[in-house]
Amino acid sequence: MISLIVLLGSILYLQNRRRHGKTYPKKICRMLLGAELAALILSGTELLPAGRLVSDLVRPENGEAGREESLIAGTREGEIRYQLTLEEREMSAREAEDKITAARTELADFLRENTEALSEESPDPKAGEERAKAGGGKEKEETEGLSNRSQGEGDKADIRVIDRDLRFPQSLQKGQVALHWSMQPEGILEQNGRFHRDLLSEDQLIAANLVYICGSSRREETIRFLARAYPADSKEGYRSRIKRALEGREKTDRQKQKMDLPEQDFRGEAIRWMRPYSWRGEKLLALGFTGALLMLFAQKKSRMEAVKRRRENADRDYPSIISEIALYLSAGVTVKNALERISAAYEERKKQGQTGHEGYEALSLLVRRMKEGISERQAYEDWPGLCPTASYRKLSMLLIQNLQRGNRRLAELFEEEKQRAEEAGRLRCKKLGDEASTRLLIPMVGLLAVVLMILLAPALFIHL
At 462 the pLDDT is 56
C-alpha 188/C-alpha 206 separation (Å) is: 8
pTM (2 decimals)?
A: 0.44
Q: Tell me, what DSSP letter sits at residue 347?
A: H
At 106 the pLDDT is 92
- 36's enclosing H/E stretch is helix 26-47
C-alpha 254/C-alpha 241 separation (Å) is: 20
- At 361, give phi and psi (nearest 5°): -65, -45
At 463 the pLDDT is 47
CA-closest candidate to residue 392, choices 369, 370, 360, 348: 360
pLDDT at 335 over 90: no
- As a whole number of Å, the end-to-end CA separation of the chain is 20
CA-closest candidate to residue 273, choices 236, 238, 244, 246: 246
| Burial group, residue 321, by CB count within 10 angstroms (0-12, 13-18, 19+) | buried
Between 453 and 302, the more confident residue is 302
Which stretches does DSSP call E strand in 228-270? none
C-alpha 295/C-alpha 268 separation (Å) is: 56
At 63 the pLDDT is 63
pLDDT at 82 over 50: yes
The gap from C-alpha 143 to its chain's centroid, in whole angstroms, comes to: 53
C-alpha 189/C-alpha 316 separation (Å) is: 74
Q: What is the pLDDT averaged over residues 122-145?
A: 40
At 239 the pLDDT is 76
CB 142 within 8 A of CB 203: yes
Amino acid at residue number 365: L
pLDDT at 234 over 70: yes
Mean pLDDT of the chain: 78
pLDDT at 211 over 90: yes
- At 44, give phi and psi (nearest 5°): -65, -40
At 318 the pLDDT is 83
Q: Is 219 helix (H, G, I), strand (E, B) or coil?
A: strand
Amino acid at residue number 453: M
pLDDT tens-digit map of 273-321: 888 887 888 888 888 888 888 998 999 999 898 888 888 888 888 888 8
Q: For residue 356, what are the contacts with CB-CB under 8 A and spacing of at least 6?
A: 313
Going by pLDDT thresholds of 50, 70 and 90, the confidence category of residue 220 is very high
C-alpha 341/C-alpha 449 separation (Å) is: 57
Written as one string, the DSSP assignment of 270-309 is B----PPP--HHHHHHHHHHHHHHHHHHHHHHHHHHHHHH
Most confidently predicted of 157-161, 254-258, 265-269, 282-286: 282-286
CB 364 within 8 A of CB 342: no
Amino acid at residue number 246: L
At 46 the pLDDT is 63
Q: Tell me, what DSSP letter sits at residue 148?
A: H
CB 127 within 8 A of CB 137: no
C-alpha 151/C-alpha 285 separation (Å) is: 63
Amino acid at residue number 205: L
CB 340 within 8 A of CB 367: yes
C-alpha 149/C-alpha 159 separation (Å) is: 12
What is the three-state SS of 365-424? HHHHHHHCCCCHHHHHHHHHHHCCCHHHHHHHHHHHHHHHHCCCCHHHHHHHHHHHHHHH
Going by pLDDT thresholds of 50, 70 and 90, the confidence category of residue 132 is very low
Q: 118 in the Ramachandran plot: left (φ > 0), alpha (ψ -120 to 50) or beta?
A: alpha
At 138 the pLDDT is 40
